[in-house]
Structure 1
Amino acid sequence: MDLTEHPVHESELFKGGFLHARRDRVRLPDGSLTEREYILHPGAVMIIPLLERAGGTLEVVLERQYRYPVQRTLIEFPAGKLDPGESALACAQRELREETGYVARQWARAGVLHPVVSYSTEVIEIWFARHLVSGKRALDAGEFLEVFSATPAQLQAWCRGGEVTDAKTLVGALWLQNVLGGAWPLTWQDVPAT
């Protein structure tokens, strides 16, 4: 069965500096017509930074950030949207450096996620970073966040207990668990700092 919905008429509802909203009239697989409202998004990256501590202890770098739409401070992995013409890896390197101050010597692309398929075109590429070197942050104007680290076990407990509710971070925790457990291997590459 072909489940494709075909656009009949496309219209713009709103175009801002970050989001672009549309309402399209579409033909459904049974031939009937309906409307679909959705947000166009430029795409984003999320980084799972692995921090090796003295004695071999592994931690992940996380952030606390107030998210206005949900009126809460959330625990999240570092992430950010793609700039026009920017590759996902370049974006991951930039966001990690700007938000946390860390630069990674090795990177591995894990996969992609679609966080809100019912109303957005957003795609987030998942990247792992390791061999971190600490440096100075360069937050965007109006960006306020706290950087901290936790063990993978702490992160899993926060996910299980409901302290972590951000969808991309929950998916990142799943990836982390499977990578560390050996079920989902990564291909690491040395990447010069930008």
Structure 2
Amino acid sequence: MTTNDDQHLIEHKTGSEELLRGRFLHAFRDTVRLPDGSSATREFIKHPGAVMVVPMLDDGRVVLERQYRYPLQQVMIEFPAGKLDAGEDTWDCARRELFEETGYTAREWSRAGVLHPVLAYSDEFIEIWFARGLSLGERQLDAGEFLDVISATPDELLAWCRDGRVTDSKTLSGMLWLQNFLSGAWALEWRTAPVDDAGR
């Protein structure tokens, strides 16, 4: 939250140059006036936003994915996630991504919060959603999308986070939420999915 007390920190845009408009990323170089009156440049990426789902199975395990991430050249363990389509509601996106990537639909949903995974160089936000009362169907991966669906107990996932097997920032945030929800420290308010919900 920005207040009048933050004026000594705020930068003001004085110019903007588009660097790249790709299918996914939109990059800019802005000129800004710093709080002391001097100028600087800020290179950043605009992003449409995304959701991440923490799917909880009835036996206490959570659903995860293993996916190859090209920039890191390695397979990563993550909670299911995906970017928003233009004009898409975040809950609709969460239900769609969970179904498409894992085949699961959920009876109940709760919005936990939001995170900014790379705030130094992107305006990307990721909404964290919890899902429970899962039913398994047939997933519908996008063309060119390859991933394994796995499950783990919260204790196993916590150990993977500790040991560095899980380093994905959204999944680490999801684990923080999961740990506090299961302990009773953080509450969630649940809503029921539409009766005819097929995750799309």
TM range (shorter): over 0.9
Deviation at 1:15, TM superposition (A): 0.2
Given candidates 17, 21, 26, the residue that maps to 1:20 is 26
Take 2:94 and 2:179, find their aligned partners in 1: how far apart are those partners?
21
Aligned pair 1:78/2:84, yes or no?
Answer: no
* Corresponding residue for residue 137 of structure 1: 139
Report the counterpart of residue 45 of structure 2 in structure 1.
39
SS of the equivalent of 2:57 reads: strand
| Normalised TM-score (structure 1) | 0.97
2:13 corresponding residue in structure 1: 7
Name the SS for the 1:29 alignment partner: coil
Shift of 1:18: 0.5
Which residue identity does 1:11 align to in structure 2? E
CA RMSD after TM alignment: 0.6
Q: Distance in 2 between matches of 1:102 and 1:35?
A: 45
Aligned residue in 1 for 2:157: 155
Q: Render the CA deviation track for 1:53-106: whole Å, top value 9, x for unaligned.
A: 2xxxx0000000000000010000000000001000000000000000000010
1:52 paired residue among 48, 52, 58? 58
- The separation in 2 between residues aligned to 1:175 and 1:137, in whole angstroms, is 26
CA distance in 1, matches of 2:179, 2:36: 42
Q: How many residues of Structure 1 are paired with residues of Structure 2 in the alignment?
A: 190
Q: Kindly report structure 1 stretches of 4+ aligned residues shifted beyond 2 Å.
A: none
SS of 2:61's equivalent in the other structure is strand
Post-superposition shift, 1:4?
Answer: 1.1
- 1:52 is paired with a residue whose SS is coil
Paired position in structure 1 for 2:103:
101
| 1: CA distance, partners of 2:64 / 2:16 | 40
When normalised by structure 2's length, the TM-score is 0.94
Question: 1:31 deviation in Å?
Answer: 0.6
| Equivalent position SS for 1:48 | strand
SS at match of 2:106: strand
Q: CA deviation at 1:173?
A: 0.4
Counterpart of 1:114? Answer: 116
Q: 1: distance between equivalents of 2:35 and 2:186?
A: 36
Q: Runs of 5+ in structure 2 lacking a partner? A: 1-5
